[in-house]
């Protein structure tokens, strides 16, 4: 929005004035949160196994495999987040009565804080 990247909670706050966009954005935020939970848990398990590799001769690779699986499980949640967020932004923008950019560009990106959605209006 105006060249600024918005987080899911910021999009929730913005769309509160439009009940339809708000309900879609709440679904998007739920998907985002679920994806982050799976990704965080998977990352911890994966990096724990890599850490044991440094200190032991025979690390246990089971947590690494489970962690990688959890990270893979997080991908559909991220994709669903992007799709629902796009829909919420389109609904919200259409309710404004003018069209700054009828087709905003949305990209899922990895940042220092985790997964984020970059929306370019």
pLDDT digits (tens, 9 = 90+) for 30-86: 999 999 999 999 999 988 888 888 888 777 888 889 999 999 999 999 999 999 999
pLDDT band at 98 (very low <50, low <70, confident <90, very high): low
| Whole-number pLDDT of residue 22 | 94
Question: 2 lies in a domain?
Answer: no
Residue count (the chain):
121
Q: Structure pTM?
A: 0.71
45: in domain? yes
The parent domain of residue 53 ranges over 8-120
Mean pLDDT score of the chain, rounded to an integer?
Answer: 86
Tell whether 14 is covered by a domain.
yes
Residue 3 lies in a domain: no
In this predicted structure, the answer to whether residue 100 has a pLDDT above a threshold of 60 is no
Residue 96 has pLDDT above 90, yes or no: no
Q: Give the separation between CA 95 and CA 86, rounded to whole angstroms.
A: 14
Instruction: Write out the two tokens for 32.
Output: 């985002």
Judge whether 19 lies within some domain. Answer: yes
What's the structural domain count of the chain?
1
Q: What is the DSSP letter of 21?
A: H
Distance between CA atoms of 14 and 97, rounded to whole angstroms?
16
């Amino acid at each position: 929005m105006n060249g600024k990247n918005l987080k899911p909670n910021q999009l929730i706050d913005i769309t509160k004035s439009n009940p339809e966009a708000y309900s879609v954005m709440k679904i998007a935020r739920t998907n985002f949160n679920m994806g982050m939970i799976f990704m965080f848990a998977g990352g911890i398990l994966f990096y724990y196994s890599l850490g044991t590799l440094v200190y032991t001769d025979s690390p246990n690779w089971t947590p690494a495999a489970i962690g990688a699986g959890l990270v893979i499980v997080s991908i559909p949640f991220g994709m669903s987040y992007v799709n629902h967020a796009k829909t919420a932004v389109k609904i919200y923008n259409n309710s404004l009565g003018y069209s700054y950019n009828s087709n905003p560009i949305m990209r899922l990106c990895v940042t220092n804080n985790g997964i984020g959605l970059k929306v370019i209006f």
